[in-house]
Amino acid sequence: MRIFVTGATGFIGSKIVKELLDAGHNVIGLARSDASAASLTAIGATAHHGSLEDLDSLRSGASLSDGVIHAAFDHDNFITNFEACCETDRNAIEALGSALAGTNKPLVITFGTTGIKIGDVVTENDKASNSLTAGPRAASEALALSLASKGVRVSVVRPAPIVYGDGEKYGLVTMLIEMARSKGFSAYVGDGFNRWPAVHRLDAAKLYRLALEKASTGSIFHAVANEGVPMREIAEAIGRRLSVPTKSISLKEATNHFGALGQLIAADIPASNALTQEKLGWKPEHLGLIKAIDRA
């Protein structure tokens, strides 16, 4: 199959591209720059110049393909301008869907497990809601699922909020490491028993491929390896690696310490992968989060 991938040079997307190529697919990767295009060409993919804001480039890329994986999101600006990033995401999904309408070709979009339910395990049957932490991005998942009525074989992959690699930058965990380094201690909120799901990016990439190849219309899958790692354990692992103390801070202190993410860091947001494993036979195989931090 010829697959169009947005976010093709990103932290997860670059591994999705490799996973697809290794499985024998041809890949067209969305490239915002000449450097991105060169990196895609170097590994055997075809570069397609454009961006999430260039809807014509998205429609033309999708039209050239037998299926689409939409893994891109503006993570550079989502903390300061979340609503605008979500609107860009919705516009991109709508453009991709319009190009695939009536074809029954697969479209895999990305949402996330965060914010769907607080304090309880999120399952694949739980729908995204306009909650404090999911916010306006929940509309992206709803929009994508509505494309099923237009003849698109759409499915959703929800990665855990912590995506990491062996000895590599981990997104949120990298931010926590930098905070601990600059402040001289690694912090968690309250008793630190609030749980965060995590997944290795290679496991996540495999799930995207399986969803593309096998998912039925309207399916939702969780790219979750660890259902919920206590934030205290994450903070302690960071403290060990940096040789700094680990401390509890209050919820009131969290915003000052963690910035805009303070309230979210304190949330209990575990997520299950049981239905994903059952439907696709996907099973996480790579190093767990705490071991990855210890090794980094």
pTM: predicted TM-score of the whole model, two decimal places: 0.93
C-alpha of 235 from chain center? 22
What DSSP element (H or E) covers 6?
strand 2-6
253 vs 172 pLDDT, higher one? 253
Longest Cα separation, the chain: 58
Tokens 């000449």 belong to which residue?
34
Same domain, 105 and 211: yes
Three-state secondary-structure class, residue 46? strand
Same domain, 154 and 173: no
Same domain, 61 and 206: yes
Q: How confident is the model at residue 15 (pLDDT cuts 50, 70, 90)?
A: very high
Question: Is a pLDDT exceeding 90 seen at residue 115?
Answer: no
Section 286-290 average pLDDT: 92
pLDDT in tens, 35-74: 999 999 999 999 999 999 999 999 999 999 999 999 998 7
Specify the number of domains making up the chain: 2
Same domain, 181 and 91: no
Tokens 């709803």 belong to which residue?
142
Same domain, 182 and 109: no
Token pair listed for 12: 């997860």
User: What per-residue confidence (pLDDT) applies to 263?
Assistant: 84
In a domain, 278, yes or no: no
User: What per-residue confidence (pLDDT) applies to 132?
Assistant: 45
Question: In this predicted structure, which of 10-19, 127-136, 229-238, 281-290 has the lowest mean pLDDT?
Answer: 127-136
Question: Would you call 260 exposed, middle or buried from its count of C-beta atoms within 10 A (0-12, 13-18, 19+)?
Answer: exposed
Give the mean pLDDT of the chain. Answer: 91
Same domain, 53 and 115: yes
User: What per-residue confidence (pLDDT) applies to 118?
Assistant: 83
Same domain, 154 and 13: yes
Spatial CB neighbours of 125, under 8 Å, sequence gap ≥ 6? 220, 275
Section 217-230 average pLDDT: 95
Same domain, 87 and 129: yes
Q: How confident is the model at residue 170 (pLDDT cuts 50, 70, 90)?
A: low
**Residue 240 belongs to what domain range?**
164-196+225-270+284-293
Can you give the CATH number for the domain in which 192 is found? 3.90.25
Same domain, 11 and 142: yes
Tokens 């992959």 belong to which residue?
157
In a domain, 265, yes or no: yes
In a domain, 234, yes or no: yes
Query: What's the helix, strand, coil split of the chain in %, to 5?
Result: 45, 20, 35
In the chain, count H helices and then E strands: 12, 12
In a domain, 258, yes or no: yes
